[in-house]
Amino acid sequence: MKFTDIVGQDHILNHFQNAIMKDRVSHAYIISGEKGAGKKALARLFSQMLFCESPKDGKPCGECQSCRQVISDNHPDVHFVLHEKPATISVDDVREQLNNDIMIKPYKGPYKVYIIDEAEKMNVEAQNAILKTIEEPPAYGVIILLSANPASFLTTILSRCVTLTVHPLSEGAITEYLTKNQMALEETARMAAQFSGGNLGKAIRFVRSEGFQEMIDNVVTVITNMTVLQTWELVAAVKEVEKYKLSVDDYLNIMAKWYRDILVYKATRDVNQLVFQGQMQEVIRTSEKCSFPDIEEIIKAIEKCRTRLHANVNFDLAVELMFMAINERMR
């Protein structure tokens, strides 16, 4: 784990750097952000910063024994609080793994770090137990709560923790990261970035899953051959989503992106803004063939299909109606 592995969270990294340099490390932190936003990576990197044996400008080296131990979750003074029940972190979990353990001096020093992932799963008793330690921590104690929903914490916990919020990333930053670090194709990267809602972890999962690229290819094939394929063939193609382990919602999202590309091109004549970079000619051709109202109706038909499926309308019927509505506009 290096500084450069964390994208777009300089406000958090700067906070940690300052705290360490000024010797003002807090005893309790909340790192808030949705699943996949990189909370655990930040907690690990902070641990490295605390323990690194040869930091440079406040940045951990990533190579010393302490850094390597943190990276491989083997550092004797960095503890992840685990819980047996999947849905709850109980008072016993907190007492056994944190309250009692933190009283034992650090093995290597100068800190002892406790990381609680999905800390919103602590019930009230567990929160009250942890509160005692947060109120009177040993000098070396650092507790890091990771949570997608810090609003579920007692106000007494919130008021004693430094809360750091993971920011969603821009689509551009995610696209760049995916093409550079994940070797994703530009088109796949852009699509994953748009789908991720600024969540890098989610975007990485999309580009790593084989099904995601296959589904994009499927959508392109369906759309570019819509006028020559039979309705049942179109419906069968959409049903392939099950094979990709993705949802029909994702499929419809990709379809909608295609028609948004056409809309964008029609309005701007700027190919750089297109998601479907590999299908530029086809996008341009369709944009010349269809009017603005045509494309708007098509996008509406896709949304209508989505609404129908959510309302449990028969799958084949909902999808057929969508293709009929689209074909009508493509003539």
Interface residues with Zn ion (CB under 5 A) are 52, 60-61, 64, 67
Neighbours of 211 (CB within 10 A): 17
Residue 61 C-beta: closest distance to Zn ion, Å: 4
Residue 145 C-beta: closest distance to Zn ion, Å: 25
- What CA–CA distance (Å, rounded) separates 214 from 55? 44
Q: Answer whether 168's CB lies under 8 Å from 198's CB.
A: yes
Helices and strands: H and E segment counts in the chain:
16, 5
Residue 68 C-beta: closest distance to Zn ion, Å: 8
Nearer residue to Zn ion within complex by CB, 61 or 248? 61
Nearer residue to Zn ion within complex by CB, 1 or 185? 1
Residue 49 C-beta: closest distance to Zn ion, Å: 9
Q: Which tokens go with 22?
A: 């000024």
- What CA–CA distance (Å, rounded) separates 35 from 290? 40
Residue 74 C-beta: closest distance to Zn ion, Å: 14
* SS3 state at 16: helix
Amino acid at 284: I
Nearer residue to Zn ion within complex by CB, 55 or 137? 55
Residue 31 C-beta: closest distance to Zn ion, Å: 21
Nearer residue to Zn ion within complex by CB, 64 or 313? 64
- What CA–CA distance (Å, rounded) separates 42 from 11? 12
Nearer residue to Zn ion within complex by CB, 52 or 274? 52
- The residue among 165, 167, 159, 152 whose CA lies nearest residue 28 is 159
Strand order in the sheet with 112-116: 78-80, 112-116, 141-147, 28-32, 162-165
Nearer residue to Zn ion within complex by CB, 60 or 150? 60
Report DSSP state, residue 213.
H
Q: Which tokens go with 150?
A: 């810090």
Instruction: Supply the Cα-derived Rg of the chain in whole angstroms.
Output: 25
Residue 53 C-beta: closest distance to Zn ion, Å: 5
* SS3 state at 18: helix
Nearer residue to Zn ion within complex by CB, 66 or 97? 66
